Each structure stands twice: as C-alpha cells, then as structure tokens.
Amino acid sequence: MVTTLSKPANRDEDDHFAATSKRTFRHQLLIWMAQQQSRKYDNGGDINALNQAIALYEQCIAGPSAHSSAESDILNIDNAVDCLSHLARMTSDSDENLTGRLANLGAAYNNRFKRLGSLEDNEQAIQCLRHAVSTAQKNDKGLPDCLNNLGNAYLTLYRTTGRMNAIDEALSVLEQAVICTPVGHADLASRLNNLGNVYLTRFERLGYMSDLHKAIELQSHGVKLTRITHKDLPGQLNNLGSAHMSRFEHLGGLEDVEHAIECLTQAVVQTPPRHPNMPSRLNNLGNAHMSRFKHLGGLEDVEHAIECLTQAVVQTPPRHPNMPSRLSNLGSAHMSRFEHLGGLEDVEHAIECLTQAVVQTPPRHPNMPSRLSNLGSAHMSRFEHLGRLEDVEHAIECLTGSRTNASAPSRHARRTNAPRHPDMPGQLNNLGNAHMSRFKHLGGLEDVEHAIECLTQAVVQTPPRHPDMPGQLNNLGNAHMSRFKHLGRLEDVEHAIECLTQAVVQTPPRHPDMLGQLNNLGNAYIRRFQHLGDIQDADRAIEHLASATQLQTGHPNQCGTLANLGNAYSTAQAVELAPSNHASLPSLLSSLGASLQQRFDRTGCTQDLDNAIIRHHEAVSLASEGHVGYAAYLNNLGSAYLSRFKAHHQQEDIKNAVDHFKKAIVCTQKDHVDLPGRLANLSNTLSQEFMAFEDQRCWSKQSRLRFKLHLHITRMKYSSDPLDVATAAAHIQAAAKSKVGHPRDRFAAARAAALMSSTLSLSDTIDAFQLAIDMIPQLIWGRHSRRQI
C-alpha cells in the first residue's frame, strides 16, 4: 500500500517555541537509534535489528516536525529523503510495503525538487516511482496514485529540460492512471485534469489540434465530476478555461472564448482572496476578456480586462518571475482602450507598464521580442497623438530590436526545423507601422520601402483566419497607398485596393476597426478614380461594401452621376458609426470633408461644399493643437474655403482660407514632407485674395501659373502695400528650396520662383532658374516611375 507522509502541525508561535527543543532532540534521537540498529543488521544479519530500524525510521517520518521556518522545512525534507532511502534499501523485494516506501521516497525527492530546483532530485523521483510501479500488484489500490505521481514527475522533467520523450512518457503513464482509477473514485477528476494538461502541453509544443481537442474533452469531464465545494475545482476551471482560450486563438471559434470567460470567471470567484494562485487566475481572465474585445469590440470587455489585470499586478510580489508578463498584459490592455477611446492617460499607463516589463525581462528571454514590440507600438501611438519625434525613434529602436531577437532561432529550433516565432507577424506589423509614421513625418522614401517589406511579411506569416489578419491587411494597404501618393505607381493603388478589400471582408460588421477600414478603402478607390478617371471604380466600391459589410443601405442618392462615389459613402458610413469620443473621429471627419469637396468639384452641388466645410471645422475642433494630424486638418479646411471662394467670390471665404493656411504652416514642422505643398497653398491663396475683385475675365484666358505671375506684377506696380506679393514670393521660394516633399510640388514652386524673379528683374534670377533646372532629373524620374506599370 502507498502511504502518505504526515504534514507539520499548525501551532501558535508561542507553543512552537516551547516545544522546539524537545521535538528536535526526539527527532535526532530516533534517527541515531535507527542508524545504530541498521548497522547492527549490516554487521550480523540480525532480523530483529532490521525490524527495529524500520520501526524507528517510520516513527521519525510520521512524528511531528521540529521546525517551521522555510530554512528548517528544507532540513525536514532532507531528513525525510534520508530516512525513506534507508527504509527502501532495507525493504526486500518480497515485502508488500516496498511499493509504498518507494512511492513515498519519490514524493520526498519531488518535494525537494520543488523547493530547490535540483534536476537530480526530479530524476531520482522518476527512478523511485518507476520502481514502485514495477513492484505494485495490478489490483493494488495505491497503483493509480503512484502512476499519477510518476506522470506528473515526467511532465516536470519536460518543463525543466524540454525533452520530448518526457512528455510522451507522461502521457503514457497518466493514461494508465486514469484507466486504473475506478469510476466514481474521488481522485478521478484530478487525474483527468492532469492528463488534459499533458495533452495541452504537447499541443503547445507540436501544434497538433487533436491534442488540444483531447485536452478540452478530458478537462471538461474532470470539471463535471468535481463537487462545487471541492478545493481543486478552481484550478480545474482555470485549466479548462485556458484550454478553450488556446483553441480560440488557433481556430477563432467564438464559443471557445465564451466558455473560457465563463470557466475563468468561476475560477476567480471560487478562489479565496489571498490564495497564491489568485494573481495568475485574474491574469488569465483579463487576457480572455481582451481576446473577446479584439474579436467583437465590446468596450465592456476591455474595461473588465483592465480591472482584472490591474489586480493581478497588484497582488503579484514585486520580484515574482511572472511580473513582467502581467505588466505586459496590463500595458497592452491600456493600449487597446486608448486606441478606441483616445484617452491620453491610457497610453501613458501603457508605456509605464510596458517599460517596466522590458526592464524586468532577462535579455535573452523568449518573450523579450514581443515585449519590445508592445513597447514600440505604445510609443508609436503616443507619437501619432502628440507628434513627438522622439517617440517614433524609440518605437523603431524597440521594434527593430524585437525583430532581431525573434529572428534568431534557438538551438532547438535549428535542430527541429521548428516554425518561426508565433509573435513574429505582430512584430513585423508594428515595425512596418513605425516606419510608415516616420515616413509621413519626414518623407524618407526608404521608410515606406521598409514598411511595405515588413507589412508584407506580416501578412504572409499570419494564419488565414487569424483575428489579427484584417488589421495587418489594412496596414499594408495604407502603406501601398502612401507610396502611390509619393511616386504615382499604379501597381501600388491596385495592391492597396486588394488588401483593403480583404480587410473589410474579414472584419466583423460592427467591429470598431470597420470605421477606419471603410474610410481607407473609400480613399483608395477615389485615388484610383482620380488617376484613371474610370467611373466604374465608384460602382465597384459601393457594390463591394454593400455585400461585405451590409451597412450601405439607407444612404441618399443625390448630386448627379457621382452620387455613389465610394470614398464619400464609405467615409460617411464610418462617421455615422463612430462614437463621439472615438480617437479616429477627427481623421474620419476630415476625410469625409475631402470626399464631399471632391464630389462638389465634379458635380457643382454647393450643398456638398458647405457640408465639407462643416466637417472640416468639426475635425479641427475635435483635434488638439498637438495632434499629429492637426496641421493637415487646418490645411484641408483652408482648401475647402478656397474652393467656395472660387465658386461664389465671397471675400470672407478667401480670408478664412488664408487664415487657416497660415495656421497650418505654423503647426507644420520645418522638416515635414507636406510643408512645401502648404507653403504653395498659402502663396496661391494670397494671390487669389489680392485679385478677388479685379478683372476676373482674364481668369479663363491665362494659364494658371502665368495668371498668378500677372497678379504679382500688378500688385507690385499699383498697390501701395506690396506685403501680399512679397509674402507670396517668400513662400514660393521657401517651397522651392525645401529638402522634403514630392519633386512635382518642389519643381512647380521652383519654376514659379524663377519666372517671378525674371519678370520682376530680381537679383536672384540666375539662382532661381538653376534650382529649377537641377530638379528636372528628379521630375523625369518620378514620371518614368509612374509609367512602369
């Protein structure tokens, strides 16, 4: 029979100190007496001496402990190992007690391994338990327990060393333990749970879905067999919830995340408040809520997640090995809420948590790549909100480090041809987004090239139905659109529409991300429409969005043949779906305004232009001055006022246009790629303002550039205040000499500056013409690139 070692009694501190010396003396005396009898048997073969030694060792093991401190507990375990080793050696193979003594010796080695972590103790435990199993009779009631302990010891060996044969042995032994356990036995549920854990562990190593299905089947059975008041039920519920979460992450079945949250919630509710496993169970429940939030977008899930994950961090000891992962989870949850609500305090909390997670993670830890990636993404979000260049630099540094660490295969991976790190697609996606943000800020073409390379690899390495796929397709499509705007290559807008279409198709209809994806897809179609002039692009946009999202019904059909313009409809749908505090609402409003203005340009429907100005005003009012898109929103508003001035020639409109263009330039950094275009907008508008009530007939008789020069010359000759023309000239020259921006914009400005200098006989005429001539190769290269289709 397999016996159980007694546990130290739990006494008050005063009683303990009063009895310590007596118990210590008795404990040591029993060991000494047992050793004397053992020597007597070794020397003379006296069977009575052997029996006396065994009886004394058993008294020593079963007696109350003389110690209670952590250090003294280790002495107790050492004494137990010594005593049980003597007992096992002195027990003959025919003795019916041999199985129990070997099993208890294995348990003692296993306890010492848990306290000290010596691999030798784990291996000794396996050796003792294997011997115990081999000596047990088939009908021995202690055999299932011995098999269960042996299986758990093999699982511990696998988790310590990664030896694949250990997990196979664990499965074989634990299956025997379940088979040998009678139906209705009190321990059957726990043994089913243990066997399920081994299947789940092998799934995590090899990825066989059959192992995951088997784990859920076994653990579900175990939970059903466990009484609701049983002390093991919270742990079993936690394990079952974790298994459902693994299946959800791999297959995306919504029922799995629902079952996971149900199980993990019950595990937390039934765990005592200060239980040592409470932090891990709170962490698991928080992660499950985050997974459902990412899938369905319900804000109540992200709120529950932050609540659970915060408590998990608070209840975790400062130097606990799981603290970095829990900080990382909490930081990621704050980031998700920031992305959907825009609260700056969330991104600050996220960076604080994620920085601490990285600091507390050892340099070569397997989770270091993902934690660096998360921190880089948080810096990117703060950059997009506040426009601080140091954030995008920190982001690229973190994300590049993440990719480097994740790309370096371990020796095991090289030996087994294991697949790439599962976090690699997300890290590539984040790095690509960081390069895109720096490109938008500084205009370096190498950044958009790096971005497309990273984002393409992210999509390629992501499983087809993975919940992150729509977002990664959306990012890749946006990167192609940015390169198209910069270089004009038609293949980029084609790739963009392909990616953005798939992003919309794979996104649940009411998901918060649908707002931006509708807007992006509409912008891509309108860009191709502007480039090729094919009216069918608008029809294709509406047809696809209607079939993919079922959100296109009920929209008005007005203002001529372009009423179904894809960008205007998709952006309007996005604005209607967006809550008033949504972080992307200013961008959506500005895009809608631009779409309405574009439709006015083609149809002449003045209501569209008035609505465009209203939308642009709303975008400006919702964005703070430090927002990275604030200058663009001001520029778009100025452009809308300028369009209305051209249509109705109201002086108030041209003055509003000038005011907003000036503010846009003030808010634009000197090295920003869009600065030349904004300077040119202000210059042109100042000229328009000057001639607001002059001879308008020449508007249709002169080319656009020559008419602007005519305005400058007229103003210089007849105006007593040459400030407007001087200001316009200064802005044109600044735009021409800018080191950033599209070559087409800079060449137009340089040509205008040269003609102005020549006409007005300015001293820098030769320099102005030389600047224009120097830019001709860049312009030709850009046009040639656009023709390479």
* Domain membership flag for residue 769: no
Cα(106)–Cα(149) distance, rounded to whole angstroms?
A: 8
Q: Which of 191-200, 323-332, 712-721 has the lowest mean pLDDT?
A: 712-721
* Domain membership flag for residue 337: no
* Domain membership flag for residue 435: no
Q: Fill in the amino acid letter for 495.
A: H
Q: Which of 288, 328, 281 is nearest to 305 (CA)?
A: 288
> In this predicted structure, what is the pLDDT of residue 335?
93
- Is 244 a residue whose pLDDT tops 70? yes
> In this predicted structure, what is the pLDDT of residue 736?
62
Long-range contacts of 37-44 (CB under 8 A, 24+ apart): 38/86, 38/90, 41/90
Q: Which of 544, 626, 633, 560 is nearest to 599 (CA)?
A: 560
> In this predicted structure, what is the pLDDT of residue 708?
47
- Is 371 a residue whose pLDDT tops 80? yes
* Domain membership flag for residue 116: yes
- If one counts the domains in the chain, the total is 1
Q: Which of 702, 703, 707, 665 is nearest to 690 (CA)?
A: 707
Cα(492)–Cα(67) distance, rounded to whole angstroms?
A: 74
Give the Å distances, CA to CA, from 659 to 621, 645, 662, 725.
15, 14, 5, 16
Tell me which DSSP letter residue 2 carries: -
* Domain membership flag for residue 71: yes
Query: 707: pLDDT confidence band, cut at 50, 70 and 90?
Result: very low
Backbone angles phi, psi at 173, to 5 degrees: -70, -45
Cα(109)–Cα(85) distance, rounded to whole angstroms?
A: 10
- Which structural domain, as residue segments, surrounds residue 80? 1-180
- Is 107 a residue whose pLDDT tops 60? yes
Q: What is the pLDDT of residues 731-761, one digit of tens each?
A: 556 666 665 555 666 666 666 666 665 555 5
Backbone angles phi, psi at 287, to 5 degrees: -65, -35
* Domain membership flag for residue 476: no
Tell me which DSSP letter residue 321 carries: T
Q: What is the pLDDT of residues 453-499, one digit of tens each?
A: 999 999 999 988 888 899 999 999 999 999 998 888 899 999 999 99
> In this predicted structure, what is the pLDDT of residue 566?
41
C-beta separation of 616 from 590 below 8 A:
yes
> In this predicted structure, what is the pLDDT of residue 667?
87
Rg (CA), the chain: 37
CA 511 to chain centroid: 17
Cα(519)–Cα(568) distance, rounded to whole angstroms?
A: 8
Mean pLDDT over the full length of the chain: 76
C-beta separation of 690 from 669 below 8 A:
no
Query: Model-level pTM greater than 0.75?
Result: no
Backbone angles phi, psi at 276, to 5 degrees: -60, -20
C-beta separation of 564 from 603 below 8 A:
no
* Domain membership flag for residue 301: no
Q: Which of 83, 77, 52, 82 is nearest to 65 (CA)?
A: 77
Which residues, 6 or more positions from 262, have their beta carbon under 8 angstroms from its beta carbon? Answer: 241
* Domain membership flag for residue 777: no
CB atoms inside a 10 Å sphere around CB 4: 12
Q: Which of 23, 81, 21 is nearest to 57 (CA)?
A: 81
Rounded (10°) CA dihedral 360, 365, 371, 373: 140
- Which CATH number fits the domain that encloses residue 119? 1.25.40.10
